[in-house]
Amino acid sequence: MNKVIIKKTEEIKNWRRNIKSDINLIPTMGNLHNGHTTLISTAKNDNSNINLVSIFVNPLQFDNKSDLENYPKTIDNDIKVSFANGADAIFIPSNEDIYPLNNKDISFLKASIELSSALCGLNRIGHFDGVCTVIYRLLNLIKPKNLYLGEKDWQQLLILKNLIQTKKLNVAIKSIPTKRDFDGIPLSSRNVNLSKDERKLIRFFSNELLSAKKNFQLEKKINLKKIIKKLSAEKISIEYLEHLHPYTLKKSKVEDNISILAGAIRCGETRLIDHVFLMKRSPIIAIDGPAGSGKSTVTKLIAKKLKLLYLDTGAMYRALSWLLIKEKIDYKNEKILQNILKDISIVFKSNSNSKQDVFINNHCVTEEIRSQEISSIVSKISSIRAVRNFLVEEQRKIGGSGGLVAEGRDIGSTVFPDAELKIFLTASINERAKRRKSDKKSKESQDIELQKLKELIKKRDFEDSNREISPLIKANDAIEIITDGYAINEVVDQIIDLYNDKIPQETQIK
Ligand code: AMP
């Protein structure tokens, strides 16, 4: 495709009509730096869509005339840099193109009151309304599939997500973590306007936030007053410094696993924002659901794609069953069982095939626990209260520092009720019966009539959902995904999108 530069609204409308592929929109205000180029190249590497970069200094989001006048403009270099980093087209409209006089098509929007009543919204009156107005206009003109934004402007990102939701627009927001300069300060187009002394102050501020993040990892708490005192001692003019919930932007509560420490300072004429995410433990995804919903396959793929530990709780029940059978333990005798459980250790280790092996008391049992003998007894053993309590504790120990995706029947409800993302994966009985019938690995299932398979599945669902100990339940805050008609990869992508929506990129394992 020929690289194009488009300047007029009519031209962009024409161009759009002739484009058959999906579009990634990367809106910017120009004077591009490494943060912008990372956005452009990330979009290029994510998919085969057409990458459109827009460059427009939006007057509506400036609350100060001199700030607008002084905003650095470097259009020739921006064009070069955009194309060099993966832009297929660049849209450089004028003010009159975006806001023509007497054009009834333009909606001057109001940003979410809840989200704009915090942080920058308190001092920059009308700023986020201006951001919403220009992005809504661009989205209507370009109709992209994906909108690429930086987490550097976290509040803006939340407000735009809210805009897309309330306007029911068919566009997905993709984000990248804040890119910082060599000295720790976030890259920003406005940095070129800083004097040496101003830059020194900003460096102090950003590095204070970064070291608060480091401290938080050890102490799990934040002392705002102490940070404010240190900044004030350097004569840094603080507009705000807040410790908030990262999605509601309300005061952070002790039970929040992820929070945001965000601040704005003034240096001469320039106002700069910075933030860090604070996390007590790495994120957890809980995936529950009935047999045959595709849980295991989906969970393994998610673990691989997101570089999370895969916690197969079923394998733990199987491994314990294997040991009890092999050592001929009278597990119905509570005393004997409790005595055995004291000395059990179950661990997962990656093997040379990039798969996971399961060990019980140092025996590798990955293969053996899949035998028919274990399959026929595991459900009975897992319904013993002492076994359940023991393994739930073990699972919590493995997940203590997070960074995992766990699958089972009671993960979101019992094992990790504070998981950041809970999925309840299911499929209709009809679909699950069809999947079992065509399962090449199970000759047994292939020989059973479809109707009979449906009855067996119904019976198993009933037993799983109605057993006394840890029944299969959908946690209140779980998102149900019905997998009928979807390919495995589509389900995986859907869950990864939900994960990206709930977890800032900056806190994800890379
Ligand atoms: P702007 O040109 O300032 O309007 O920014 C255009 C896009 O680039 C926005 O989505 C910003 O959040 C993103 N962006 C700007 N600076 C950075 C940075 N240092 N790291 C990551 N993204 C950034």
Q: Which atom of ligand 1 has the smallest separation from the CA of 151?
A: 12
The CATH number that applies at residue 150 is: 3.40.50.620
CA of 151 to the centre of ligand 1 (A): 8
d(CA 414, CA 388): 11
pTM of the model: 0.91
pLDDT, position 442: 58
Give the closest residue (by CA) to ligand 1 atom 22: 150
Q: Are residues 335 and 270 in the same domain?
A: no
Which residues of the chain carry a pLDDT beneath 70? 440-446
Spell out a b/e string for 184-214, using b for 16 or more CB atoms within 10 Å of the CB, else e: bbbbbbbbebbeeebbebbebbbebbeebbe
Tokens of 434: 């069809």
Q: What residue numbers bound the domain in which 113 lies?
A: 4-176
Q: Are residues 205 and 84 in the same domain?
A: no
Between the CA of residue 249 and those of 112, 162, 262, what are the distances in Å?
12, 13, 10
The CATH number that applies at residue 350 is: 3.40.50.300
Residue 430 within a domain: yes
d(CA 4, CA 14): 13
Q: Are residues 102 and 119 in the same domain?
A: yes
* DSSP letter (8 states) at residue 92: -
CA of 149 to the centre of ligand 1 (A): 7
Residue 201 within a domain: yes
Virtual torsion, Cα 117, 119, 120, 125, nearest 10 deg: 30
Give the closest residue (by CA) to ligand 1 atom 14: 150
Last residue of a domain, one of 176, 197, 219: 176
Q: Are residues 8 and 118 in the same domain?
A: yes
Q: Is 102 exposed, middle or buried (0-12, 13-18, 19+ CB in 10 A)?
A: exposed
Give the closest residue (by CA) to ligand 1 atom 5: 28
Residue 275 within a domain: yes
Amino acid, res. 46 = D
Domain count, the chain: 3
**Beta carbons within 10 angstroms of residue 250's beta carbon:** 12
- In total, the chain counts a number of residues equal to 510
**Beta carbons within 10 angstroms of residue 376's beta carbon:** 10
How do 172-176 and 146-150 pair as beta strands?
A: parallel
pLDDT, position 380: 87
Residue 249 within a domain: yes
pLDDT, position 3: 95
Q: Are residues 338 and 480 in the same domain?
A: yes
- Are 424 and 299 spatial neighbours (Cβ–Cβ below 8 Å)? no
What is the SS3 assignment for 117-186?
A: CCHHHHHCCCHHHHHHHHHHHHHHHHCCCEEEEEHHHHHHHHHHHHHHHHCCCCCEEEEECCCECCCCCE
Provide residues with CB under 6 Å of ligand 1.
28-29, 35-36, 39, 149-150, 152-153, 176, 178-179, 186-189
Q: What are phi and psi of 133, to 5 degrees?
A: -60, -45
Q: Are residues 261 and 291 in the same domain?
A: no
Q: Which atom of ligand 1 has the smallest separation from the CA of 153?
A: 12
CA 365 to chain centre: 34
Residue 254 within a domain: yes
The CATH number that applies at residue 201 is: 3.30.1300.10
Q: Which of 393, 365, 391, 374 is CA-nearest to residue 321?
A: 374
